[in-house]
Amino acid sequence: MNVTEMTAKMASGKGFIAALDQSGGSTPKALKGYGIEEGAWSTDEEMFGLIHQMRTRIITSAAFTGEKVIGAILFERTMDGDAGGKPVPAALIERGVVPFIKIDKGLEDEKDGVQLMKPMPELDALLERSKALGVYGTKERSVINSANPAGIAAVVKQQFEVGKQVLAHVMMPIIEPEVNIKSETRAECDTILLAEILKNLDELPEGTQVMLKLSLPIVPGTFDPLVAHPKVLRVVALSGGYKRPEACVELAKNAGIIASFSRALLEDLRHQMTDAEFDASLAGAIDEIFTGSTVKSA
């Protein structure tokens, strides 16, 4: 796939984006879910080696193809590694899966009800290296915990500033201002967030497009204006802590939005499984998320 083909797949391809981008803080939890307890490693290098083995097992599985998985978001170490004897981005592209890279370096402490992204002083160098490896786009996450208009405005402004930096490298940014699904003011957060995103989209140059990764809204259809916006290539949804069945039900209520699930994709996979068991479990999860992404409820 060349860049034009990747853009077409992201714009209209049937399927979803797999989020395989757990980083330092969330890696032990991901490994525990996979059946590897914290005592199984003694250094960070060993820990990252184990998570890379898990990710390559997913990427090289017969179930993981571009037929239903149209994209995959990678952690930087995963991008730099190999899968099946090839660089991971090349292995994905060969399977028809568009590669993205997680670029944020974690979150600041909460202020005004939100958590902004930490500074990314080496972002330009990472973007150049990623693009050279064939990576199509990026993903950056911040978090909204309460309906504070000033905080949400700051989150969206920062997200779009970083997005413009990505666009300058001729890469596709996935902008992810996650609303905490445990927030007591979720509906208000969704409303304020929608208005701020629309304002920032209108300020983008004509002909420019970004992608959006959002929490599933408490009121289905809330983000319809974003799905239809000419400066939005695609809207994808995170599972946000929902178990897969519930996440897929909520996803199906929102027309035009596809999944970009992490935990909800991986929740049934275990290190101890045989390859046949692993492939069957992964195929079942992929089928369920694919259906929620492509078959919408009335």
Catalytically active residues, by annotation: 176, 213
Which residues, 6 or more positions from 200, have their beta carbon under 8 angstroms from its beta carbon? Answer: 156, 157, 159, 160
Amino acid type, 280: A
Q: Per residue, what are the HEC states of 217-284? A: CCCCCCCHHHHCCCCEEEEEEECCCCCHHHHHHHHHCCCCEEECCCHHHHCCCCCCCCHHHHHHHHHH
Following DSSP, what letter does each residue of 116-162 receive, concatenated?
A: PBPP-TTHHHHHHHHHHTT--EEEEEEEE-S--HHHHHHHHHHHHHH
CA–CA separation, 231 and 125 (whole Å): 26
Helix (H) or strand (E) holding 27: helix 27-33
Which letter does DSSP use for residue 180 in this model?
A: P
Q: How many residues does the chain have?
A: 298
Which residues, 6 or more positions from 72, have their beta carbon under 8 angstroms from its beta carbon? Answer: 17, 18, 19, 20, 59, 92, 97, 98, 99, 100
Structure tokens at 67: 């037929």
**Quick one: which of 71, 47, 34, 84 has its CA closest to 281?**
34
Structure tokens at 279: 């492939």
Structure tokens at 7: 């853009």
